């Protein structure tokens, strides 16, 4: 019978796994209910589980959105139904790779999945397709080697789920499906000029010799479809034995194709306008003996009118058996209501029209199942549902909101059907109406289907209409969102960082292609997504109160997806224009403020727009951003829009840097970044540090002169008096500032003040996010990362760094130790971007001081672990920007991707402060050095005072510092000599990295160093 026989012998109270996943098997006769993993499409543009029926492939439903989160998003590369369970091959999406995890059972309705097997550590195998044959009770899978143009065929143990390669096939299989003892696959020729359907008799598979017999089915001309070298999926519906294939073609199109497994030809092909790339196609099925009947056709249920309690069932008896051959005999049908047998109807009439009236159902929704049977056993069942009795009202129809200034008008129609598609009493209908986003109920049990609502505040409003009748509460419908309300004052700000703020704006899809401005929760911004048409999509502000001839300053932040044209490797360019007008319509937005022309940004980098303009009348007006990119280009992101009057005095606090760790009675330096938003230079202001909790002023400093549209850094010195935590903020004090609201820093720095004599640490940035590549990437034999920290982040000078500390989230199963080297140097660089190519990083080569060489151990699994590394040689810092070079020499002992630690990082928006490279050896390929705006979250232990300096000798930066009675050199020199002020030699040593100072007094000396054949001297002051 097979492994998944559905028959009357099972308990009437049991619900199979199949029935849990498919509560009603009521798809159209002969069609399939397809589940699969969505890897890409134009409709949902995400990763997730989708479902559609083969007769309506354009009506796919996204059942689970997994998003696109590196290190978290599962990618199911292959899948198949085994009985009632949907088995999938689980991998995890990382930055640029997917890493296999094992086999999981997925609930397609919820997207929840349970891991059933774990792969051996280090496994890199990606399965491209899976299939199950209930006839032979065997699970198969393939891996297509795109380089070798071959296919490895695997069998998966049904009991242990272990994978075993059983054959290597010298042609590429793009798909795999099984039925009735055969495997079927679509294969292509080397030049992809022709595709064919082939089959393998499972009895020819010889695991010992790793071979099998492949038979070509398609005729000489092939399938006639220009198949692309892309992932795709195919599966038999084992209920109907129809073969379905979601095909990807060379011209970047997608088709749902039905193939004839007998002729190898296409039966029908439906263009998928959503361009769906489907993996892991799974089709729930029923399996019975070959001679048992197929399903009844044209099944219909009709409840008695006006809430009566009878149900009439009509159907046609089957004419085919399970294998789609002429049915030899029929005995009758069994009718189940809600899983309980309620009627047996004997009938030997093949194909006869039948009916039956059920007079016993209660007032509820009922599921009817009809199972035909004959002398061979139960056949394929068919199901349908119907509501009996009086229903609750369904959702109000055609709920529409229009608005004029501050008044909205809402209209709707009465529900067309009941909640369960049943009869409901329309005479007693009434409605509750609630306004969103402020959640105000504006009508209760109204019988009107039109209402008006006046609002005082401009926002994006929508309304929820709930239907009621004498039976109780029914369903609700939500209107479209319309932005309306009173004009807003200037200054105006809109971060666009949540859906409510985005709702204040009006969206105009002027080319009517359904691809327009939306809110993107993943980037917390407005965004325009690409279309097959030239973009003409407008994002229009709320009405704003302008004054004639005043100058206004508009600011905004915008960026693009970092997409590259695959043919010529050039960046995909976007276009956007900025307009002003007196009406929120395309016709009313007539004054162009700025044509941004073509632009492109790398990942996590931004452009900052600033436009000055004036208007010709005192009136309400609108600002609008028009996306006007060419067809098939990328994405535009927009956020942080502000509009203000352009005045003489207008300062703002842009940021505050300072250490989050401090010591009592030890001076700390904080740097406030102050921006001049006005039209004239400003210098007569003060910057204050204050306790954000108590408003106590901690310290202050006079401002520096700042020109218009520029920023200035103001250093403020503060000496903590007591231990404990304190939230330190900054503000600008400027008499006559036009907009004092932005004179105060929004987010304070929480400073932990330790005892005076405790170890001294500088926290030189903040912990914001996490990633892989810096400081140490240990999934390759060699990696190097260089990371820049600016002088204003470090604050202190004339200090020696003794140790560093970074944070990580451990993912490995235990300890992992790897060799590493750390170097430090001072530099004038402010980024690590190539001067010739904005997509390539650059490494500094000379002037490095090695501060650490040895083994580093990380642990896992552990969240927020501290990694503290004590330097072999302290580095004395006297000022300037710092560059750290981190080298990981993992060699053959390295971590696979899913066990690699996540380093805690700080994003430097718009700046490539890190460059990284990984490869097989330390021979760095300059073209493979990649820039990044992320630097490690860093703490540095330091000591103050002491003689120090940096000397460049023989191309190497030599760090020099005094500690007690010893003058240290950061590396061994051939000769080191020390002369007093009169020129006498007072101390010398050969092949050394230190000089003893025991007999010397305080004063100025001359140090002379010989290294690598080069001689350098420097003046130093010794402290005794």
Which range of 663-667, 767-771, 837-841, 968-972 scores highest in mean pLDDT? It is 663-667
The chain-wide mean pLDDT, for the chain, equals: 91
Distance CA 256, CA 232 (A): 11
Determine phi and psi for 630, rounding to 5 degrees: -70, 160
Name the pLDDT band for 1 (thresholds 50, 70, 90). Answer: very low
Determine phi and psi for 707, rounding to 5 degrees: -80, 160
Distance CA 782, CA 778 (A): 7
pLDDT over 70 at 965, yes or no: yes
Distance CA 742, CA 889 (A): 48
Q: Are 739 and 644 in contact (CB under 8 A)?
A: yes
pLDDT over 70 at 17, yes or no: no
Name the pLDDT band for 21 (thresholds 50, 70, 90). Answer: very low
Distance set, CA 767 to CA 169, 536, 764, 807, 860 (Å): 51, 40, 10, 9, 20
Residue with tokens 């053959």: 892
Our measurement of the distance from residue 49's CA atom to the centroid of its chain's CA atoms, rounded to an integer in Å, reads 16
> What pLDDT was estimated at residue 812?
85
Q: Are 559 and 601 in contact (CB under 8 A)?
A: yes
Strands 749-754 and 661-663: parallel
Name the pLDDT band for 5 (thresholds 50, 70, 90). Answer: very low
Cβ-based burial of 489 (10 A; exposed 0-12, middle 13-18, buried ≥19) = exposed
Task: Name the nearest CA neighbour of 67 among 497, 522, 519, 518.
Answer: 522
Q: What is the pLDDT of residues 578-611, one digit of tens each?
A: 999 999 999 999 999 999 999 998 766 788 899 9
> What pLDDT was estimated at residue 949?
56
What is the b/e burial string over 223-248, where b = at least 16 CB atoms within 10 angstroms of the residue's CB? bebbbbeebbbbbbbbbbebbbbbbb
Fold equal for 400-484 and 488-645: no
Least confident of 379-388, 423-432, 563-572: 563-572
Distance CA 921, CA 780 (A): 9
CATH architecture of 960-1022: Sandwich (2.60)
Q: 767 is written with which tokens?
A: 């912990």
Q: What is the pLDDT of residues 267-276, one digit of tens each?
A: 999 999 899 9
Name the pLDDT band for 19 (thresholds 50, 70, 90). Answer: very low
Q: Select the CATH number that applies to the domain covering 655-756 from these four: 2.60.40.10, 2.60.120.560, 2.60.15.10, 3.20.20.450.
A: 2.60.40.10
Distance CA 774, CA 770 (A): 10
Name the pLDDT band for 957 (thresholds 50, 70, 90). Answer: low
Our measurement of the distance from residue 749's CA atom to the centroid of its chain's CA atoms, rounded to an integer in Å, reads 29
DSSP string, 384-405: EEEEESBPPB-PPEEEEEEEET
Q: Are 294 and 285 in contact (CB under 8 A)?
A: no
Q: Are 103 and 139 in contact (CB under 8 A)?
A: no
Residue with tokens 């005045």: 647
Instruction: State whether residue 791 is helix, strand or coil.
Output: helix
Higher-pLDDT residue of 630 and 945 is 630
Instruction: State whether residue 647 is helix, strand or coil.
Output: coil
> What's the per-residue H, E or C state across 814-870?
CCEEEEEEEEEEEECCCCCECCCCCCCECCCCCCCEEEEEEEEEECCCEEEEEEEEE
> What pLDDT was estimated at residue 604?
64
Q: What is the pLDDT of residues 198-228, one digit of tens each?
A: 999 999 999 999 999 999 999 999 999 999 9
Average pLDDT over residues 652-671: 92
Residue 254 falls in which region: left (phi positive, over 0), alpha (psi -120 to 50) or beta: beta
> What pLDDT was estimated at residue 7?
26
Higher-pLDDT residue of 959 and 376 is 376
Q: Are 622 and 532 in contact (CB under 8 A)?
A: no
What is the b/e burial string over 629-663, where b = at least 16 CB atoms within 10 angstroms of the residue's CB? beeebbbbbbbbbbbbbbbebbbbbebbbbbbbbb
Average pLDDT over residues 684-691: 96
Q: 440 is written with which tokens?
A: 């105000």
- Domain 488-645: state its class: mainly beta
Average pLDDT over residues 50-73: 91
All structural domains of the chain with their residue ranges: 38-282, 297-388, 400-484, 488-645, 655-756, 762-944, 960-1022
Q: Are 536 and 628 in contact (CB under 8 A)?
A: yes
> What pLDDT was estimated at residue 532?
84
Q: Select the CATH number that applies to the domain covering 762-944 from these four: 3.30.1490, 2.60.120, 3.40.1350, 3.40.50.
A: 2.60.120
Distance CA 589, CA 577 (A): 11
Average pLDDT over residues 107-114: 94
Strands 1014-1022 and 1003-1011: antiparallel
* 297-388 is classed CATH 2.60.40.10: yes
Average pLDDT over residues 294-323: 96
pLDDT over 60 at 2, yes or no: no
- Domain 38-282: state its class: mainly beta
Average pLDDT over residues 630-641: 93
pLDDT over 80 at 62, yes or no: yes
Q: What is the pLDDT of residues 189-201, one digit of tens each?
A: 988 999 999 999 9
DSSP string, 934-968: EEE--EEEEEE---EEEEEETTEEEEEEEETTEEE
> What pLDDT was estimated at residue 781?
93
Q: Which helix (H) or strand (E) holds 434?
A: strand 430-436
Q: Select the CATH number that applies to the domain covering 400-484 from these four: 1.20.1050.10, 2.60.40.10, 2.170.120.20, 3.40.50.2300.
A: 2.60.40.10
Q: What is the pLDDT of residues 414-452, one digit of tens each?
A: 999 999 999 999 999 999 999 999 999 999 999 999 999
pLDDT over 90 at 768, yes or no: no
Q: What is the pLDDT of residues 490-510, one digit of tens each?
A: 999 999 999 999 999 999 999
pLDDT over 50 at 351, yes or no: yes
Q: What is the pLDDT of residues 231-262, one digit of tens each?
A: 999 999 999 999 999 999 998 899 999 999 99
Q: What is the pLDDT of residues 916-927, one digit of tens each?
A: 999 999 999 998
Q: What is the pLDDT of residues 130-161, one digit of tens each?
A: 999 999 999 999 999 988 999 999 999 999 99
Name the pLDDT band for 829 (thresholds 50, 70, 90). Answer: very high
Strands 195-201 and 182-188: antiparallel
pLDDT over 50 at 9, yes or no: no
Our measurement of the distance from residue 995's CA atom to the centroid of its chain's CA atoms, rounded to an integer in Å, reads 56
Higher-pLDDT residue of 612 and 893 is 612
Distance CA 132, CA 123 (A): 23
Q: What is the pLDDT of residues 782-821, one digit of tens each?
A: 999 999 999 988 888 888 999 999 999 998 888 999 999 9
């Amino acid at each position: 019978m097979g492994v998944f026989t559905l028959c009357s012998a099972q308990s009437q109270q049991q619900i199979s796994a199949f029935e849990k996943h498919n509560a009603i098997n009521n798809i159209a006769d002969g069609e399939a209910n397809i589940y699969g993993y969505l890897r890409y499409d134009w409709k949902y543009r995400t990763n997730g589980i989708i479902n559609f029926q083969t007769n309506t492939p354009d009506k796919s439903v996204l059942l689970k959105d997994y998003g696109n989160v590196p290190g978290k998003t599962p990618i199911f590369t292959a899948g198949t139904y085994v009985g009632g369970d949907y088995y999938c091959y689980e991998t995890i999406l990382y930055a640029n790779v997917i890493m296999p995890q094992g086999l999981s059972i997925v609930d397609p309705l919820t997207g929840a999945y349970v891991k059933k097997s774990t792969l051996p550590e280090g496994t890199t195998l990606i399965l491209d397709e899976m299939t199950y044959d209930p006839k032979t009770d065997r699970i198969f899978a393939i891996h297509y080697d795109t380089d070798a143009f071959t296919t490895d065929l695997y069998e998966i143990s049904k009991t242990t789920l272990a994978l075993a390669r059983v054959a290597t096939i010298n042609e590429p299989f793009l798909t795999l499906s099984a039925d009735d003892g055969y495997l079927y696959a679509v294969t292509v020729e080397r030049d992809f000029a022709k595709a064919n359907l082939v089959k393998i008799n499972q009895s020819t598979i010889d695991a010992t010799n790793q071979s099998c017999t492949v038979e070509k089915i398609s005729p000489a001309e092939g399938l006639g479809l220009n198949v692309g070298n892309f992932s795709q999926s195919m599966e038999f519906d084992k209920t109907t034995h129809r073969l379905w294939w979601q095909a990807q073609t060379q011209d970047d199109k997608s088709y749902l194709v039905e193939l004839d497994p007998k002729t190898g030809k296409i039966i029908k092909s439906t263009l998928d306008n959503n361009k769906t790339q489907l993996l892991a196609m799974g089709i729930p099925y029923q399996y019975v003996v070959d001679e048992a009947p197929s399903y009844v056709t044209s099944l219909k249920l009709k409840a008695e009118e006006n809430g009566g309690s009878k149900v009439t069932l009509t159907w046609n008896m089957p004419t085919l058996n399970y294998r789609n051959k002429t049915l030899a005999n029929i005995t009758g049908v069994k009718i189940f209501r809600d899983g309980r047998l309620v009627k047996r109807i004997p009938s030997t009439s093949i194909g006869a029209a039948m009916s039956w009236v059920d007079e016993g159902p209660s007032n509820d929704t009922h599921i009817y199942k009809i199972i035909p049977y004959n002398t061979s056993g139960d056949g394929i069942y068919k199901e349908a549902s119907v509501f009996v009795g009086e229903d609750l009202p369904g959702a109000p129809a055609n709920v529409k909101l229009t608005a004029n200034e501050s008044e909205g008008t809402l209209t709707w129609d009465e529900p067309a059907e009941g909640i369960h598609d049943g009869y409901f009493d329309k005479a007693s209908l009434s409605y509750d109406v609630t306004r969103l986003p402020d959640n105000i109920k504006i009508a209760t049990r109204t019988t009107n289907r039109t209402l008006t609502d006046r609002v005082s505040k401009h926002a994006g409003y929508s309304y929820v209409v709930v239907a009621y009748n004498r039976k109780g509460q029914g369903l609700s419908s939500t209107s479209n969102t319309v932005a309306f309300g009173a004009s807003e004052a200037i200054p105006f700000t809109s971060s666009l960082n949540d859906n409510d703020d985005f709702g204040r704006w009006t969206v105009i899809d002027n080319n009517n292609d359904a691809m327009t401005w939306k809110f993107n929760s993943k980037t917390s911004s407005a965004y325009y997504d690409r279309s097959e048409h030239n973009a003409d999509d407008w994002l229009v502000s709320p009405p704003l109160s302008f004054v004639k001839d005043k100058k206004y300053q508009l600011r905004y932040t915008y960026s693009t997806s970092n997409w590259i044209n695959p043919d010529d490797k050039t960046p995909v360019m976007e276009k956007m224009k900025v307009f002003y007008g007196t009406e929120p319509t395309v016709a009313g937005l007539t004054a162009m403020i700025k044509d941004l022309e073509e632009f492109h940004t790398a990942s996590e980098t931004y452009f900052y727009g600033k436009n000055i303009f004036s208007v010709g009348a005192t009136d309400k007006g609108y600002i609008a951003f028009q996306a006007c990119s060419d067809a098939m280009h990328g994405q535009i992101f927009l956020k942080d829009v502000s509009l203000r009057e352009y005045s003489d005095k207008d300062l703002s606090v842009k940021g505050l840097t300072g250490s989050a760790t401090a010591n009592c009675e030890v001076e700390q330096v904080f740097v406030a970044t102050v921006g001049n938003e006005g039209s004239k230079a400003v210098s007569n202001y003060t910057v204050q540090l204050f306790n954000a909790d108590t408003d106590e002023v901690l310290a202050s400093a006079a401002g520096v002169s700042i020109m218009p549209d520029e920023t200035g850094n103001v250093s403020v010195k503060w000496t903590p008096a007591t231990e404990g935590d304190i939230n330190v903020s900054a503000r600008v004090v400027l008499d006559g500032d036009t907009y004092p609201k932005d004179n105060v820093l929004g987010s304070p720095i929480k400073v932990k003040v330790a005892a005076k004599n405790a170890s001294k640490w500088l926290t030189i940035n903040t912990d914001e996010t996490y990633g892989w590549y810096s400081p140490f990437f240990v999934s390759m034999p060699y990696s190097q990362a260089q990371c820049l920290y600016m002088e204003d982040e470090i604050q202190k000078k004339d200090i020696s760094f003794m140790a560093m500390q970074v944070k990580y989230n451990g993912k490995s199963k235990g300890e992992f130790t790897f060799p590493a080297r750390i170097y430090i140097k001072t530099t004038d660089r402010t980024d690590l971007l190539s001067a010739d190519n904005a997509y390539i990083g650059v490494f500094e080569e000379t002037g490095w001081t090695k501060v650490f060489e040895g083994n580093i151990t990380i642990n896992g699994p552990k969240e927020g672990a501290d990694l503290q590394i004590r330097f072999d040689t302290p580095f004395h810092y006297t000022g300037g920007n710092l560059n750290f070079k981190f080298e990981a020499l993992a060699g053959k002992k390295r971590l696979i991707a899913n066990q690699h630690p996540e380093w805690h990082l700080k994003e430097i928006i718009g700046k490539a402060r890190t460059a990284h490279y990984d490869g097989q050896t330390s021979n760095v390929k300059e073209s493979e050095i990649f820039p990044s705006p992320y630097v490690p979250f860093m703490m540095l232990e330091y000591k103050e005072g002491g003689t120090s300096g940096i000397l460049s000798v023989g191309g190497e930066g030599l760090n020099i510092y005094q500690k007690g009675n010893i003058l240290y050199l950061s590396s061994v020199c051939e000769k080191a000599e020390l002369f007093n002020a009169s020129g006498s030699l007072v101390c010398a040593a050969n092949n050394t990295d230190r000089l003893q100072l025991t007999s010397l007094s305080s004063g100025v000396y001359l140090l002379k160093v010989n290294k690598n054949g080069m001689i350098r001297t420097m003046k130093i002051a010794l402290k005794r």
